A and B are shown apart, each in its own frame.
Chain A
Amino acid sequence: MTKTIQRVSATTLVVYSVAAIATIILAVCVGAVSVPASEVLHSIGWHLKVPYMSRTVGMNDIIIWQLRLPRVILAFVVGSMLASAGATYQGTFRNPLADPYLLGVSAGAGLGATFAIVSGSNVSHALIPVASFLGAMGAVALTYTLGRSGMSGRMSASLVLAGVAVANLLTAIQTLIQQQHNDKIREVYSWVLGTLNTSGWSDVQMVAPYVAVSTFMLFRYRRVLDVFSVGDDEATTLGLPVERVRAIVIVAATLGTAAAVSVTGLIGFVGIIVPHALRLLVGNGYRVLIPLSIVGGGIFLVCADLIARTALAPTEIPIGIVTALIGAPFFLYILGSRRTGAQA
């Protein structure tokens, strides 16, 4: 009996889960002060009230539970979100270059954050996440409204074009504001490059619910994403309510991405590189691609963050630069090895 439906096999699931947990533990161990893995396990276990786990005392417990774990978890959650949103957009728009920022999330968030930063007061500083979240949601809403009223019938193309227009417009406004507040340029710039420098668990608590809902929705729609691969017209004649599903998926992806971006700034590349690397490894079927993107995106960003904070320690490299620097060659490597493999 040959394989029937493409699904994530039990083996793959175990391998990816183990890899995820191992990566998370490794990332907590490594840093300015190294902590042994056993201590990490005990500390996390004790905080999660797992029986027979003993409490780690002193600095190490603070390092593990207050400093590193929240940051690592945040990296994982944000990576999951960006990768699965990227994969979903590539599917619904049938565009391999689509990423989570396709419809203007990044430009909207950037504008919102810039507003909050230049306003200057302490209150507005705390409002950076809120402002960028609202900016991101607003930008996508604008893109969607413009794209819908655009060319009739060619919705996906007009949405992408509207996204480009909105992103450019908002970026222009952001640059204008930035130029008028020279003293804040550094701060804006560092937000744009993205950072996972967290303040304990509060960021995770803020982002995780949105990401959980979003990735769950995208996961639920994974089969339907395969139907999009024959194009809007054929998908419609196959019985798929194309516009409705696309709208649902956009709302889900936008909600999670906006929440992620509002806390970490603009981390590029994850949404393109992780899904494409996985495509080369496991194929284009979304039933496999979406779950693996959720796990793989998390692993990828945890690793990238580990490099960001250790490679040039004590200086921290902006995470967005790391994702681009390790992402691009990694991607080319997989592309190359896959090609030679396919010829054999």
Chain B
Amino acid sequence: MTTLNIAELSVSIDGRNLVNDVSFSLSVGQWLCIIGPNGAGKSTMLKAIAGICKSTGRMVIDDNDLRQLNERERACWIAYVPQEPILPTGMRVFDYVLLGRTAHLNLLASESTKDLEVAEMVLTELALEDFRDRDVATLSGGERQRVTIARALAQASPFILLDEPTTALDVGYQQEVLELIDRLRREQKIAVITTMHDLTVSGLYPDRLMLLSDGRVVSDGPASEVLTVTNINEHYGAEVQIIDNDGRPIVVPIRTVQK
């Protein structure tokens, strides 16, 4: 089974250690969610794995050392959607999704029929057929998120990194996007790494949570082990109550100032 192995991953920018000695492994079909307070290094870690941020440590997928790969080869393994993707004004949804095929094309080549078919399939898969000629810059929050995920899927990489895929969405779209990611990773054998802010939601879909604080992994495991009152108090500085919902922790903030 295709597995990503990360060992002693560190990122240091201008002498500050943003990510410190992170190690984990992840196989296709699994969903890892990175949580942690603002500035903990979640996004930086995703960028390091995506290869757009200088880092040290080992990153290997099966026998392939990611550091030895060029941009194209790396993109065939890992797709990445940043927190705020750039959606170019005037570009059609179909053309945007087609950008996901870049890694499968020679620099000077044009997309083949197969590339077009893949993009078409992805649009169908994500129920975006009616959007194919829409300008990406005019899409609503939920539609944008689906379109960026569609681009990542068109890339056909076994690993997909999504930075805060639900933060800007209302609860309905959040659910839609999370259900979509969950279905895709199971059906298409994709490994997903997301970052997330909503702790209760992060305990709902991913198999595994990793709590990052000051760039270090301070807790790692199933939601019930990571989402504890002490962990959240210590690292988020928040007073919360955990309600157990059939093994899925519900995190409720407590009002500390009395009426």
Q: List 23 A-B contacts (CB under 8 A).
A: A2-B132, A153-B53, A153-B54, A221-B108, A224-B108, A226-B95, A230-B85, A233-B82, A234-B80, A234-B82, A234-B86, A236-B51, A237-B50, A237-B51, A237-B78, A238-B103, A239-B71, A239-B74, A240-B71, A241-B71, A279-B90, A284-B90, A285-B90
Within 8 A of A (CB), among B87-117: 87-92, 94-95, 98-100, 102-104, 107-111, 116
Which of A153, A221, A239, A285 is within 8 Å of B91, CB to CB?
Answer: A285
User: Does B90 lie within 8 Å of A5, measured CB to CB?
Assistant: no
Complex CA distance for A99 and B181, rounded to whole angstroms:
42
- The yes or no answer to A168 lying at the interface (CB within 8 A) is no
New A-B contacts (6) at CB < 8 Å, excluding given A233-B47, A239-B75: A5-B116, A152-B54, A224-B108, A238-B103, A239-B103, A239-B155
Within 8 A of B (CB), among A212-246: 220-221, 223-224, 226-227, 229-231, 233-242, 245
A229-B86 in contact given A236-B71, A237-B52, A284-B91 (Cβ < 8 Å) = yes
Residue of B nearest to A6 (CB): B95
User: Does A241 lie within 8 Å of B116, measured CB to CB?
Assistant: no
Complex CA distance for A283 and B109, rounded to whole angstroms:
22
Complex CA distance for A284 and B137, rounded to whole angstroms:
12
Complex CA distance for A292 and B36, rounded to whole angstroms:
50
Residues of A within 8 A of B75 (CB): 237-239
Closest chain-A Cβ to B228's Cβ sits at a distance in Å of 34
Complex CA distance for A245 and B99, rounded to whole angstroms:
16
Could you mark each residue 213-246 of chain B with 1 if its beta carbon is under 8 Å from any beta carbon of chain A, else 0?
0000000000000000000000000000000000
Residues of B within 8 A of A279 (CB): 90
Residues of A within 8 A of B90 (CB): 279, 283-285
- Contact surface of A with B, Cβ cutoff 8 Å: 2-6, 152-153, 220-221, 223-224, 226-227, 229-231, 233-242, 245, 279, 283-285
Residues of A within 8 A of B98 (CB): 5
Closest chain-B Cβ to A290's Cβ sits at a distance in Å of 13
Residue of B nearest to A284 (CB): B90
User: Does A5 lie within 8 Å of B110, measured CB to CB?
Assistant: yes
A223-B110 in contact given A230-B86, A239-B102, A284-B91 (Cβ < 8 Å) = yes
Complex CA distance for A152 and B52, rounded to whole angstroms:
12
User: Does A239 lie within 8 Å of B116, measured CB to CB?
Assistant: no
Residue of B nearest to A283 (CB): B90
Complex CA distance for A236 and B116, rounded to whole angstroms:
21
User: Does B79 lie within 8 Å of A245, measured CB to CB?
Assistant: no
Which of B50, B89, B95, B107 is within 8 Å of A245, CB to CB?
Answer: B107
User: Does A241 lie within 8 Å of B86, measured CB to CB?
Assistant: no
* Tally of B interface residues using CB under 8 Å: 42
Among the interface residues B74, B86, B87, which one has the most CB atoms of the partner chain A within 10 A? B86
Residues of B within 8 A of A234 (CB): 80, 82, 85-86
Residues of A within 8 A of B79 (CB): 237
Residues of B within 8 A of A245 (CB): 107
User: Does B86 lie within 8 Å of A238, measured CB to CB?
Assistant: no
Q: Which 5 A-B pairs have the closest CB atoms?
A: A239-B103, A239-B75, A229-B88, A284-B90, A237-B80
- The yes or no answer to B179 lying at the interface (CB within 8 A) is no
Closest chain-B Cβ to A172's Cβ sits at a distance in Å of 33
- The yes or no answer to B256 lying at the interface (CB within 8 A) is no
Residues of A within 8 A of B85 (CB): 230, 234
Residues of A within 8 A of B94 (CB): 4
Which of A233, A241, A284 is within 8 Å of B52, CB to CB?
Answer: A233
User: Does A220 lie within 8 Å of B102, measured CB to CB?
Assistant: no
A236-B52 in contact given A2-B133, A4-B116, A224-B107 (Cβ < 8 Å) = yes
- The yes or no answer to B68 lying at the interface (CB within 8 A) is no
User: Does A238 lie within 8 Å of B82, measured CB to CB?
Assistant: no
- The yes or no answer to B183 lying at the interface (CB within 8 A) is no
Residue of B nearest to A237 (CB): B80
User: Does B133 lie within 8 Å of A238, measured CB to CB?
Assistant: no
Complex CA distance for A242 and B71, rounded to whole angstroms:
9
Complex CA distance for A235 and B100, rounded to whole angstroms:
10
Closest chain-A Cβ to B139's Cβ sits at a distance in Å of 15
Complex CA distance for A226 and B89, rounded to whole angstroms:
12
A227-B99 in contact given A233-B82, A236-B71, A239-B75 (Cβ < 8 Å) = yes
Complex CA distance for A33 and B222, rounded to whole angstroms:
87
- The yes or no answer to B76 lying at the interface (CB within 8 A) is yes
Complex CA distance for A229 and B71, rounded to whole angstroms:
17
Complex CA distance for A334 and B120, rounded to whole angstroms:
34
Residue of A nearest to B109 (CB): A223
A229-B102 in contact given A221-B108, A239-B74 (Cβ < 8 Å) = no
Residues of B within 8 A of A152 (CB): 54
